[in-house]
Protein backbone atom coordinates (compact mmCIF):
# COMPACT_ATOMS: atom_id res chain seq x y z
CA UNK A 1 0.00 0.00 0.00
CA UNK A 2 3.06 2.24 -0.02
CA UNK A 3 2.95 2.86 -3.75
CA UNK A 4 6.39 1.33 -4.22
CA UNK A 5 6.46 -1.75 -6.39
CA UNK A 6 9.65 -3.64 -6.86
CA UNK A 7 10.32 -7.22 -7.80
CA UNK A 8 11.60 -7.92 -4.29
CA UNK A 9 8.49 -6.53 -2.56
CA UNK A 10 6.11 -8.32 -4.91
CA UNK A 11 8.04 -11.58 -4.47
CA UNK A 12 7.88 -11.31 -0.67
CA UNK A 13 4.16 -10.58 -0.87
CA UNK A 14 3.49 -13.58 -3.11
CA UNK A 15 5.63 -15.82 -0.88
CA UNK A 16 3.71 -14.63 2.20
CA UNK A 17 0.36 -15.40 0.61
CA UNK A 18 1.51 -18.86 -0.49
CA UNK A 19 2.92 -19.54 2.97
CA UNK A 20 -0.31 -18.61 4.73
CA UNK A 21 -2.39 -20.71 2.34
CA UNK A 22 -0.04 -23.68 2.83
CA UNK A 23 -0.22 -23.41 6.63
CA UNK A 24 -4.02 -23.07 6.57
CA UNK A 25 -4.36 -26.14 4.36
CA UNK A 26 -2.00 -28.18 6.55
CA UNK A 27 -3.89 -27.21 9.71
CA UNK A 28 -7.19 -28.20 8.07
CA UNK A 29 -8.88 -24.86 8.71
CA UNK A 30 -9.83 -24.37 5.08
CA UNK A 31 -13.08 -26.16 4.28
CA UNK A 32 -15.25 -26.34 1.18
CA UNK A 33 -17.93 -24.04 2.55
CA UNK A 34 -15.48 -21.34 3.60
CA UNK A 35 -13.35 -21.49 0.48
CA UNK A 36 -15.02 -23.09 -2.55
CA UNK A 37 -11.82 -23.60 -4.50
CA UNK A 38 -13.09 -26.75 -6.22
CA UNK A 39 -14.88 -24.74 -8.88
CA UNK A 40 -11.44 -24.38 -10.38
CA UNK A 41 -10.72 -23.94 -14.02
CA UNK A 42 -14.29 -23.98 -15.31
CA UNK A 43 -14.81 -20.57 -13.71
CA UNK A 44 -12.07 -19.22 -15.99
CA UNK A 45 -14.31 -20.15 -18.91
CA UNK A 46 -17.48 -18.88 -17.23
CA UNK A 47 -16.23 -15.41 -16.25
CA UNK A 48 -15.36 -14.24 -19.79
CA UNK A 49 -18.70 -15.57 -21.03
CA UNK A 50 -20.51 -13.73 -18.20
CA UNK A 51 -18.56 -10.54 -18.95
CA UNK A 52 -19.68 -10.67 -22.59
CA UNK A 53 -23.29 -11.25 -21.48
CA UNK A 54 -23.06 -8.25 -19.13
CA UNK A 55 -21.78 -6.04 -21.96
CA UNK A 56 -24.53 -7.23 -24.34
CA UNK A 57 -27.23 -6.67 -21.71
CA UNK A 58 -25.79 -3.24 -20.89
CA UNK A 59 -26.02 -2.24 -24.56
CA UNK A 60 -29.60 -3.54 -24.72
CA UNK A 61 -30.66 -1.59 -21.61
CA UNK A 62 -28.98 1.58 -22.91
CA UNK A 63 -30.80 1.24 -26.26
CA UNK A 64 -34.13 0.75 -24.50
CA UNK A 65 -33.57 3.85 -22.38
CA UNK A 66 -32.45 6.08 -25.26
CA UNK A 67 -34.88 4.85 -27.93
CA UNK A 68 -38.52 5.33 -26.93
CA UNK A 69 -39.60 3.02 -29.75
CA UNK A 70 -38.03 0.00 -28.02
CA UNK A 71 -40.40 -1.70 -25.63
CA UNK A 72 -39.71 -1.69 -21.90
CA UNK A 73 -42.02 -4.28 -20.41
CA UNK A 74 -41.06 -5.08 -16.83
CA UNK A 75 -41.89 -8.64 -15.92
CA UNK A 76 -41.66 -10.78 -12.81
CA UNK A 77 -41.31 -14.52 -13.35
CA UNK A 78 -40.09 -17.69 -11.67
CA UNK A 79 -37.08 -19.51 -12.99
CA UNK A 80 -36.17 -23.09 -12.15
CA UNK A 81 -32.49 -23.70 -11.42
CA UNK A 82 -30.61 -26.95 -11.87
CA UNK A 83 -27.93 -26.25 -9.24
CA UNK A 84 -27.75 -28.57 -6.24
CA UNK A 85 -25.42 -26.72 -3.88
CA UNK A 86 -25.88 -23.38 -2.17
CA UNK A 87 -22.71 -22.17 -3.88
CA UNK A 88 -24.14 -23.00 -7.31
CA UNK A 89 -27.42 -21.23 -6.54
CA UNK A 90 -25.61 -18.14 -5.25
CA UNK A 91 -23.37 -18.05 -8.32
CA UNK A 92 -26.44 -18.31 -10.57
CA UNK A 93 -28.44 -15.68 -8.65
CA UNK A 94 -25.49 -13.27 -8.60
CA UNK A 95 -24.91 -13.80 -12.32
CA UNK A 96 -28.53 -12.91 -13.04
CA UNK A 97 -28.31 -9.79 -10.87
CA UNK A 98 -24.97 -8.69 -12.36
CA UNK A 99 -26.53 -8.75 -15.83
CA UNK A 100 -28.13 -5.33 -16.44
CA UNK A 101 -31.89 -5.43 -16.77
CA UNK A 102 -32.40 -8.47 -14.53
CA UNK A 103 -32.49 -8.91 -10.76
CA UNK A 104 -32.93 -12.02 -8.63
CA UNK A 105 -35.56 -10.99 -6.12
CA UNK A 106 -35.90 -14.19 -4.07
CA UNK A 107 -34.73 -17.79 -3.93
CA UNK A 108 -36.95 -20.53 -2.58
CA UNK A 109 -35.63 -24.04 -2.99
CA UNK A 110 -34.71 -24.41 -6.63
CA UNK A 111 -36.98 -21.60 -7.86
CA UNK A 112 -35.80 -18.04 -8.38
CA UNK A 113 -38.10 -15.05 -8.53
CA UNK A 114 -36.57 -12.78 -11.17
CA UNK A 115 -37.46 -9.27 -12.33
CA UNK A 116 -36.57 -8.42 -15.93
CA UNK A 117 -36.73 -5.06 -17.66
CA UNK A 118 -38.02 -6.59 -20.88
CA UNK A 119 -39.60 -9.79 -22.14
CA UNK A 120 -36.50 -10.38 -24.28
CA UNK A 121 -34.30 -10.47 -21.17
CA UNK A 122 -36.75 -12.89 -19.53
CA UNK A 123 -36.71 -15.15 -22.60
CA UNK A 124 -32.90 -15.18 -22.60
CA UNK A 125 -32.88 -16.43 -19.01
CA UNK A 126 -35.66 -18.94 -19.63
CA UNK A 127 -33.60 -20.31 -22.52
CA UNK A 128 -31.25 -21.68 -19.83
CA UNK A 129 -27.76 -21.00 -21.20
CA UNK A 130 -26.60 -19.28 -18.00
CA UNK A 131 -28.13 -22.04 -15.88
CA UNK A 132 -26.26 -24.72 -17.86
CA UNK A 133 -22.95 -22.86 -17.61
CA UNK A 134 -23.26 -22.43 -13.83
CA UNK A 135 -24.24 -26.10 -13.51
CA UNK A 136 -21.12 -27.07 -15.47
CA UNK A 137 -18.97 -25.19 -12.94
CA UNK A 138 -20.87 -26.81 -10.09
CA UNK A 139 -20.45 -30.24 -11.71
CA UNK A 140 -16.66 -29.76 -11.65
CA UNK A 141 -16.93 -28.95 -7.93
CA UNK A 142 -18.95 -32.13 -7.31
CA UNK A 143 -16.41 -34.24 -9.20
CA UNK A 144 -13.57 -32.78 -7.12
CA UNK A 145 -15.44 -33.66 -3.90
CA UNK A 146 -16.02 -37.22 -5.13
CA UNK A 147 -12.33 -37.60 -6.01
CA UNK A 148 -11.41 -36.38 -2.52
CA UNK A 149 -13.94 -38.71 -0.90
CA UNK A 150 -16.14 -35.95 0.59
CA UNK A 151 -19.32 -36.73 -1.36
pLDDT computed for residue 117 by the predictor: 94
Find out whether 114 and 122 touch, Cβ atoms under 8 Å: yes
Find out whether 88 and 135 touch, Cβ atoms under 8 Å: yes
Find out whether 39 and 141 touch, Cβ atoms under 8 Å: yes
pLDDT tens-digit map of 24-74: 888 888 766 665 555 667 788 889 999 999 999 999 999 999 988 888 899
Domain boundaries, the chain: 40-148
Identify the DSSP state of 109. T
Q: Which of 5-9, 105-109, 142-146 has the lowest mean pLDDT?
A: 142-146
Share of the chain above pLDDT 70, in %: 83
pTM of the entire predicted model: 0.71
pLDDT computed for residue 24 by the predictor: 85
Amino acid sequence: MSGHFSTLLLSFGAASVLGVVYIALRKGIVDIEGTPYEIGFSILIYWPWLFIEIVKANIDVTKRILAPSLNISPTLFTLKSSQHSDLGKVLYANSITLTPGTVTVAIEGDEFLVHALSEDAAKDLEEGTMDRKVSAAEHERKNAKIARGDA
